[in-house]
Structure 1
Amino acid sequence: MPEISGFHAHVYYDPGSREVAARVRKALEERFTVQLGRWHDGPIGPHPKSMYQVAFLPDQFDEIVPWLMLHREGLDILVHPETGDDLADHRHHALWLGEKLALNFECFQRAETTR
Structure 2
Amino acid sequence: MREIKRPVNSHRAYHAHVYFEQETLEFAAKLCKEAGERFNLKVGRIHQAMVGPHPKWSCQITFGAKHFDQLVLWLEQNRKGLTVLIHALSGNDLNDHTIYAYWLGDSVELDISMFSA
Q: TM-score, normalised on structure 2? A: 0.87
The structure 2 residue matched to 1:80, chosen from 87, 97, 113, is: 87
- Secondary structure at 1:91 match in 2: coil
Q: For each residue in 1:20-75, what CA deviation from the matched residue of structure 2 results, as whole angstroms up to 9, or x when unmatched?
A: 10121122122111110112111111000100100001111011000011011211
Q: Give 1 or 2: higher helix fraction.
A: 1
**The structure with more radius of gyration:** 1
- Secondary structure at 1:31 match in 2: helix
Which consecutive unaligned segments of at least 5 residues does structure 1 have? 111-115
Q: Give 1 or 2: higher strand fraction.
A: 2
Contact 2:31 2:79 in 1 (8 A): yes
The structure 1 residue matched to 2:62, chosen from 46, 55, 58, is: 55
Contact 2:19 2:56 in 1 (8 A): yes
The equivalent residue for 1:91 is: 98
The equivalent residue for 1:113 is: none
- Give, as a single letter, the amino acid of the residue that structure 1 aligns with 2:93: D
Is 1:4 paired with 2:29?
Answer: no
Q: TM-score, normalised on structure 1? A: 0.89
Is 1:105 paired with 2:101?
Answer: no
Overall identity of the aligned pairs, in %: 40
Which consecutive unaligned segments of at least 5 residues does structure 2 have? 1-9
Q: Write the distance in 2 (CA, Å) between the matches of 1:8 and 1:84.
A: 12
Q: For each residue in 1:69-102, what CA deviation from the matched residue of structure 2 results, as whole angstroms up to 9, or x when unmatched?
A: 1011211000011111111011111110011000
Number of residues of Structure 1 aligned to a counterpart in Structure 2: 108
